Structures are given as structure tokens and as C-alpha cells.
Structure 1
Amino acid sequence: MTVRWDIFCTVVDNFGDIGVTWRLARQLVAEHQCAVRLWVDDLRAFERLCPDIDVSLREQWQQGVQVCQWPKDWPATEAADVVIAAFACQLPSAYMDAMAEREVTPLWMNLDYLSAEDWVIGCHGLPSVKYKHVQKYFFFPGFQAGTGGLLREADLLERRRQFQHDDAAQKSFLHGLGVVREPGARLISLFAYENAGLASWFEAMATDVCPSHVLVPEGRVLGDVARWLGVDGLAPGALHRRGGLTVQVLPFVRQDEYDRLLWCCDFNAVRGEDSFVRAQWAGRPLLWHIYQQEEDVHLEKLEAFLRLYTQGLSESAEKAISGLWRDWNAGQDMAEHWKAVCAEHLELAEHAQAWCLEQGSRADLATALVKFYRNWL
């Protein structure tokens, strides 16, 4: 019989939470033949990732997934075989009662945030709280053996390889976004939160002898970009040049198109969790703007990832990329470390490919979840 899954998502950070759960839901349907209901409390945010969504509907089907609006007046609903509370969201009390009333207890998991911290390995798969007789388990994505791995479709790396070796396909894709790549220019994507360090980074690129072309999808960083350019506002299609830097604003694109954008670029600046993982699958050097947390807890997570990611780099390359990440996440002057990253670009590019292949050798997150359920049975 088909295993039924319910995935619950509350949209906290605009696109990160729904981005992860939407990818997971689609993969469980397409590759593991699961029946998935995705409960979402903010269909407006979801619509940006999946324009086919009708925000007025309480229930609809998208790409094989039953998408349900998470209502305040929770309807009588039978609990699924597997229940995922994404990122520690609180399930409706009536649904928790429905879990407890099932003849066969469901598997209840908290799909937690991605982290490279050492303690994650020790906590992954452990039981958490109980509701009546229903046990909840921790499930941690991660970068090391002993974690749940990363979201990755079965054919993703091969599709990326073919695309990156097809100049015509890249040119056609960029042309569809209104982008004409200048020969010899670094192509950079920028998806970030507001950041005081942006001006120093853009200034360094504008004064560099090597030209840079920065593609900025609609998002929160556009205000900082506009201030640096000295314009009142920016909309998709805007194109500005200053010195060796070209800045171009792109429309917000759906997830599959964003993947191809990352694959086209020589360097990708990303934010949050979903785009962070997809940039790693692009196999190109990257810059991560981590989601800020109280008491700078996020900086511990940043350092934990850097310790893993930079293993095997030369001292100069490690200092360059680590310094750039720290500058960016502290909103500090990035010029010196950006110049160092450019000088170490070949090594960093080779390292990004090697890191991608290493992570790709591990079981992906959806497969790990399905295996956990089968073992639990």
C-alpha cells in the first residue's frame, strides 16, 4: 500500500522553510511513490516559488503533491502514516489527537534545521517528546555520516553536469532572463538579506580590472543595492554599470530555474538554507548569508560549516574564503578578502566541485527519511 505522509510547514523566513518542504514533498512523490499532503500556512510565499499555486484554494494538487492551506479552524482530518513537523513547528492539537487515535501509531518526526555542528550527529534519530503514546523523533539534515544528509534529487548532479557542459543551453537560459554574458566577466548571483557589507564588496568589483556581472533576483538585499547605485528603487530588468561592475535585477524565479541560474554563475552568494544547499550542488564557489539569530548563535553554525568545508584547502585559500564569509555575515568591509578570493579562484573552484561530489556520495535526505520509516516499522 502507498505510504501516506503529512508535512507541516509554517513560513518563518519567507522562502527557506517552504522551499525545503516543497522540494522534499515533490521528491517523496516522484522518487519514492509516497502520497504527500503539504500543509502550508502562507500560500502567498509559496506562490513565489510555484506560480501555479491558487492562493484562494484550501486544497489543490501541484506536481503530484496535495497542497493544503493550514487553516486556523482545523478540520477533522485523519492522520497520515508519517508525520513531519518541519523546523519544529507546532502541530494542531486536533491533529495530534488524530495521531493518538490511529489504530497503528504514525511515525512522527521533527525535521530540524540544517547544521554542521558536531552535536547534530549524536542527536539525529533520537526520540524526543511524546504526545500521549505517540513518540516524536529528531531528524537532522547534515553534511557528515550519521546525519540525514541533504536534499538532492536522484538525477540532479547529472542534469547539472550536462547543463554546465552545454554553452548553448546556458546562453539560451540566460537570454530568457534578459542576461547577455560579457566575455571574460565573472558572472555572480546575489540572493541575500540586508547587509551593510555590500557597498564595500560592490566597490571592490567596480574598481577591479576584471569585470563582474552581478545578477540580483528580487529580494531583501535590493534596498542596499539601490543605495550603492544611488537610485530610488530597483525592479526586474534594471541594468546599471559602474566601472567594471554590471548589476542586473532579475525577477524572482521558480526553484528549477534558480538551480540553472546557480549552475550558470562562477560564484554564488546565497542565504538561508534552501539556496545554500542548492549552491553547493552547483559545484561553484559560494558565499553564505546565514539567518541571524539572537546572541549570535548563527555564527557558531557558520564556523562549524567553515571547519568542514575548508578542509583540504591551502592556507591562503582557506583564509580568503573564510575571511570573506565572516566579513559578509558581520556586515564588514569585504574588499581585502574578495581580492584574495579572486586570486585563489582556481583552487576554490576545484574545491567546490570536490565538495559537491563528496556530499553527493551520501544518501540524500528524502531517501534517508524513507529508510528511517522502514527501519522504524
Structure 2
Amino acid sequence: MRWDIFCQIVDNYGDAGVCWRLARSLTSLHGQEVRIFCDDLPTLNLLASGVDPEIKRRIDIQTWEASHHNSRHPVETPDVVIEAFGCDLPERYLAGLLIAPKKPVIINLEYLSAEPWIAEFHGKPSPQAHGIPKYFFFPGFQANAGGLLIDPVPSEPFVSPTNIPASLKTSWKLLRPNTKRISVFCYPGAPLLKWLEDLGRLSENFDIVLTHGQLEQLQFSSGYPTQTITLPASIQLISIPFVSQDEYDWILSQCDFNIIRGEDSFVRAQLAGKPFIWHIYPQKDHAHEVKLAAFLDLYLEDTSQELKHAVIAAMTWAMPSQWIQSIDAWSAHSKAWRADLLKNQADGGLAARLMGFVA
């Protein structure tokens, strides 16, 4: 089948990350033809860099504007159109679908959520005035939701510590032996400097792997944007260049703890099987707090009260000294959670469920 995916980037990388991972799953695992129309090609291309050229060659990446010309080519009508995260289709593109001899199915691909109500709305029709069938598709953790994007599953050769991506070789040489590693990818607004200062008071060494732009964000939030940040000697900051999606997956697997943001990184942190803080995108109406609580209800369902308190404290930016004593139990739980996730998504997860739904 031919698939058109429309992606408007709101959260810098997360939206593009999901669309790219879905496209590569559909092509490499299911042999589908996929075009992505994106309003921020530089970001999408950065995420897709470093991928097997054979995978990239199969995906037709186009500018958002390029979709406007398709009204003159009704022959190229796709079988499935995906509106990622509720973005509206360009009017001229939609006009082309209306005059096409064969109508596609339109899928409104929603944001991932662990909230129980999504199962009731997943797969339901969304009647449109134009008459082209459209459906809601909700990714989720539950068996009766749309599943997770699990491809590629981090394998032993992939996560090998010796398999250092070329772009990270210089940074990785700075890591100290027998030192805990924490990767950081969060939004402005997180109390990161205070968090690192607290970490520096613990009797342990930490190497902090800062993703592209985090050091500048940290300097700016410290109020001294042009000065070097001074932290205890036990804390070493290592700033890395912008990396592709696969290289970031590798980083998550090599760290003992990960601070992540955005939907794609959220799933990858869980598949890395390590403790993590999900810095969920803050929304004015506090909807993000409900979303985080729903995930934690699921994530911590079978854990001890002590671990529940520790993880909830960590996820809501309590200082590390308040919960670090539970880190070993959290690490064990992270591995068990990863195994459960893979078992629950054994049908192939989101891409496979989408294929089955469309069929």
C-alpha cells in the first residue's frame, strides 16, 4: 500500500521522531511505500541521518508544500493518509483526494498516552463533511490500544559498549572509568542546575552526557550565559553533538540513568531498560500532569510503596538525594518493565496494529 504521512513539528524533535520511526517500520518491516510531508525538513533529515541508506532510500521525504501539487496527479492517490498528532491536511492536497477515483483512509494518529479512556476512542470513526473515511488511532500500552513504536528493538550487538558511533568517539573518550553516567535531554524550565548541584553532594562520581543545546540551556538558566558553570569535581559535564535517532538510542543504552523528553525518547528510554525521568511537555491547562500520573499508575502498578514514592519524587523533579537510595530497585524494575513491554508488543506494536486496522 501507499502511505502519506503529514508531520508538522511542534515539539522540535519528538513529532518528527515518531513520524520517521513509523515510516521506517512500515517500509522495512512491512514492505509499504511511504512518503513523509514535513514542515521542517532539516530536523527530519538530521534525525534520519546515520540510518542504513537502504532504509532511507525507501522513504520519500518531501517538503510540506510539495503535497500541494498532488491534486494534479490523482493516479498517485495513497491508500492511507496519516495526520500525525491531529495536523490539518493542506487544502489543495485534500481537494486532490476528493476528485481521485479511489478514496484513501485517513488516520488521525494521536499522541501516546497511558490514560484509560483512550481505549474507548481508539479506532473509532471521525465523520467528516467531505465524506472520506477518517479514524482515530491512539498509541498506548494497553492491549486494546494502538501499541508502541518498538522498532528497532535494541539488540545485544547494537547496544555493545564497543559499538561507539563515529560522531560520539571524541565525547566518549572523556568518560571516566567506574563512573555512573546520566544522559540529559530536557526542556528549559527543568531545575537542572539545582538538580546537578544536589547530585554533586552525594559521595559518588557522575559523568553527565548533555545532548546538543543542553549546555547552553544550562548556562542561560544559571543567569551567567557567558560563564562556565562550576559544579563539584565529582560531576563532569560532557556536551555531545547533535546525533541521529539510532545514535541517541545507543546513548540511552550506555547510560545508567536517562533524563528524556518527547514521545519518541520516552518509549526508547523504556526499551533501554534503565531508570529515567520523563520531562513531559508542560501544558498550560496542566494536562501533562494527568498524562504523567496515568503512566506512573501503570509503570509502578506492581512495585513496593518505597519504590513508588521514589520514582514519583524523581519524575516530579525532587532532588536526587531524596530518592537515590532506591536506584538499585528502580534499575531492576526497569529491566522487568522492558521485558513486559516487549511481551505486550510481541504482535509488532503500533506499525503492525496500524497495518491490521487499515486492512
Same fold per superposition (TM over 0.5): yes
CA contact (8 A) 1:125 1:138 kept: yes
CA contact (8 A) 1:192 1:219 kept: no
2:169 maps to which residue? Answer: 175
2:2 maps to which residue? Answer: 4
Following superposition of structure 1 onto structure 2, how do residues 143-182 of structure 1 map, counting pairs within 5 Å?
143-153=141-151, 156-157=153-154, 159=155, 161-164=156-159, 166-169=160-163, 175-182=169-176
CA contact (8 A) 1:226 1:233 kept: no
Letter in 2 for 1:218: H
Query: Which of 313, 324, 333 pairs up with 1:342?
Result: 324
1:197 maps to which residue? Answer: 191
2:244 maps to which residue? Answer: 254
CA contact (8 A) 1:223 1:233 kept: no
Letter in 1 for 2:46: R
Following superposition of structure 1 onto structure 2, how do residues 219-234 of structure 1 map, counting pairs within 5 Å?
219=213, 222-225=216-219, 227-228=221-222, 232=226
CA contact (8 A) 1:28 1:36 kept: yes
Contiguous gaps of at least 5 residues in structure 1: 54-60, 329-333
Displacement of 1:173 in angstroms is: 8.4
Q: Deviations over 1:295-349 (max 9, x none)?
A: 11111101111111111221111101111112x3xxxxx32xx224321111111
Following superposition of structure 1 onto structure 2, how do residues 51-130 of structure 1 map, counting pairs within 5 Å?
51=49, 62-71=56-65, 74-75=68-69, 76=71, 77-78=73-74, 79-130=77-128
SS at match of 1:99: helix
TM-score (ref. length: structure 1): 0.86
TM-score (ref. length: structure 2): 0.90
Residues 87, 118 of structure 1: alpha-carbon distance in 2 compared, 3 angstrom cutoff: same
1:323 maps to which residue? Answer: 313
CA contact (8 A) 2:187 2:261 kept: yes
1:372 maps to which residue? Answer: 357
Following superposition of structure 1 onto structure 2, how do residues 9-28 of structure 1 map, counting pairs within 5 Å?
9-28=7-26
The 2-side partners of 1:271 and 1:80 are apart by: 32
Contiguous gaps of at least 5 residues in structure 2: none
1:271 maps to which residue? Answer: 261
Residues 232, 47 of structure 1: alpha-carbon distance in 2 compared, 3 angstrom cutoff: farther
Residues 290, 5 of structure 1: alpha-carbon distance in 2 compared, 3 angstrom cutoff: same
Residues 241, 182 of structure 1: alpha-carbon distance in 2 compared, 3 angstrom cutoff: farther
CA contact (8 A) 1:127 1:137 kept: yes
Residues 184, 341 of structure 1: alpha-carbon distance in 2 compared, 3 angstrom cutoff: farther
Letter in 1 for 2:239: V
2:140 maps to which residue? Answer: 142
Letter in 2 for 1:343: Q
Percentage identity across aligned positions?
Answer: 36
The 2-side partners of 1:120 and 1:300 are apart by: 13
1:216 maps to which residue? Answer: 210
The 2-side partners of 1:46 and 1:256 are apart by: 13
Residues 72, 25 of structure 1: alpha-carbon distance in 2 compared, 3 angstrom cutoff: closer
Matched, 1:310 2:310: no
Residues 226, 208 of structure 1: alpha-carbon distance in 2 compared, 3 angstrom cutoff: farther
CA contact (8 A) 2:179 2:206 kept: yes
CA contact (8 A) 1:112 1:141 kept: yes
CA contact (8 A) 1:163 1:170 kept: no
The 2-side partners of 1:104 and 1:186 are apart by: 57
Displacement of 1:243 in angstroms is: 2.8
The 1-side partners of 2:311 and 2:119 are apart by: 26
SS at match of 1:168: coil
Displacement of 1:42 in angstroms is: 1.2
Residues 227, 94 of structure 1: alpha-carbon distance in 2 compared, 3 angstrom cutoff: closer
CA contact (8 A) 2:215 2:239 kept: no
1:47 maps to which residue? Answer: 45
1:56 maps to which residue? Answer: none
Number of aligned residue pairs: give it.
Answer: 349
Following superposition of structure 1 onto structure 2, how do residues 290-301 of structure 1 map, counting pairs within 5 Å?
290-301=280-291
The 1-side partners of 2:169 and 2:50 are apart by: 23
Residues 88, 233 of structure 1: alpha-carbon distance in 2 compared, 3 angstrom cutoff: farther
Letter in 2 for 1:186: K
The 2-side partners of 1:131 and 1:325 are apart by: 43
